[in-house]
Amino acid sequence: MNKFLLTAFALILPTSTLAAPATFIASEAPLATTSAPGNSYIGGSSVVVTAPTMGDLVVTGGSIVSAGTVEEDATLIGGSVDVRAPISGDLRTAGGNIIIDDTVAGDLVVAGYRVDDNARASGSVFIVGANVSITAGAAGPVIVYANNVYLDGEFSGDVKVVAGGVVRLGSSAVVRGKFSYESPEPARIAETAVLKGPVEYTNATYLPDASTSRSLAVLSVAVFLFVRILGALILAGLLAGLFPRLAEAVVLRATTRRTRSVLLTTLLGFAAIVATPILLVLLALTFVGIGLAVLLAIAYALLVFLAFMYAGILLGALFVRRFWGRETILWHDGVLGMLALSLVALLPVVGWIVVFAFAAFCAGVLLALFFSAAFPGDSEEEDL
């Protein structure tokens, strides 16, 4: 395994790097205690470097501790990174939890979840993280993108902060250049902090105000209604187009039967829609009835769905028969009826009463048709 990692390092490195003296270490938990004459490349789950590195230091691992001086640049990538010795060049590091406790003579580039920079960097500083803390200032310009930011120490150059949460300046903070920051609220600046340059604040609230919230709520409701109505239109058109005989049977029951028969059919559907949930609860209370309750719940959901779909188809067919005189049911009759039924449902109280009445009648018709199909008799009228 170690030979494979060494070979991979050798293949990805440039030829100029290989020409210089270099040290390659790849193991489960390497501990570098011997000074490296040139560059050092170390990989492992837990890496501890205590010896000085005369060239560049490149480390990847789960946990990294750099406790030896680095004469050139350092690149540290791991789950947690702890820098405890000075770095004479640039430091580039990425990880979950990053702690920098010693100086960086060059530039500092950091990306991590929690970043604690407790040492002063002589070059520019660029940090991206969730929670960022710089307690010793910086000699060059500083750019921070984070949620919460804490700044303390002397900053010789400009400081730019883009924060989604809170920006705080400690009691020993001194900013000699321009201090510009963007956050939802003004920075919390200690009374003894010194801002010698200009201050530029941009209010970047990430939460909508009351009027925007109302507009978004209305828009979301409108989108929800549009999607729901569009889905209902598509399903009603499909049912009317794929099963025209069943739709014609439902319409026939509504147009050819006497008023008493229509009312009884509606009462049958009403009883099925209202009483079935109660029966499901009673069946679910017994161990034997759980399986039957599941099957009945599936059948009930299918009945309610078809009842509301055929309620729209019935309304569309009644429109067509009344105004166009056509008895054949086409797919766009279902679309038309479902659109009209959806608009009626938007009316307060009365709309849902009308929709429920149509759905109850269609549920009763479907139950009667299914019963006739399951138990055919000589006296039964064949609707399908």
What's residue 129's pLDDT?
93
Give one DSSP letter per residue of 172-239, joined into a string: T-EE-S-EEEEESS--EE-TT-EE-S-EEEEE---S--HHHHHHHHHHHHHHHHHHHHHHHHHHHHHH
Asked whether residue 81 falls in the same domain as residue 225, the answer is: no
Mean pLDDT of the chain: 83
Measured at the CA of 28, the angle between CA 50 and CA 100, to 5 degrees, comes to: 40
What's residue 32's pLDDT?
53
Domain boundary among 137, 152, 167: 152
Average pLDDT of the segment spanning 220-226:
83
Asked whether residue 250 falls in the same domain as residue 352, the answer is: yes
Tell me how many domains the chain contains. 2
Average pLDDT of the segment spanning 48-57:
89
What's residue 41's pLDDT?
87
Radius of gyration of the chain (CA): 37
pLDDT tens, residue by residue, 194-215:
999 899 998 876 556 566 667 7
Average pLDDT of the segment spanning 266-288:
87
Domain boundary among 152, 187, 202: 152
Does the structure show a pLDDT above 60 at 364? yes
Does the structure show a pLDDT above 80 at 29? no
Average pLDDT of the segment spanning 216-240:
83
Asked whether residue 283 falls in the same domain as residue 352, the answer is: yes
d(CA 180, CA 186): 11
Lowest mean pLDDT among 14-23, 126-135, 180-189, 275-284: 14-23
* Range(s) of the domain holding residue 365: 210-374
Q: 306: which 2 tokens?
A: 């078809």
Does the structure show a pLDDT above 80 at 281? yes
Asked whether residue 113 falls in the same domain as residue 230, the answer is: no
Domain boundary among 85, 120, 152: 152
Asked whether residue 53 falls in the same domain as residue 119, the answer is: yes
In a domain, 56, yes or no: yes
Does the structure show a pLDDT above 80 at 216? no
Average pLDDT of the segment spanning 123-150:
94
In a domain, 268, yes or no: yes
Does the structure show a pLDDT above 70 at 321? yes
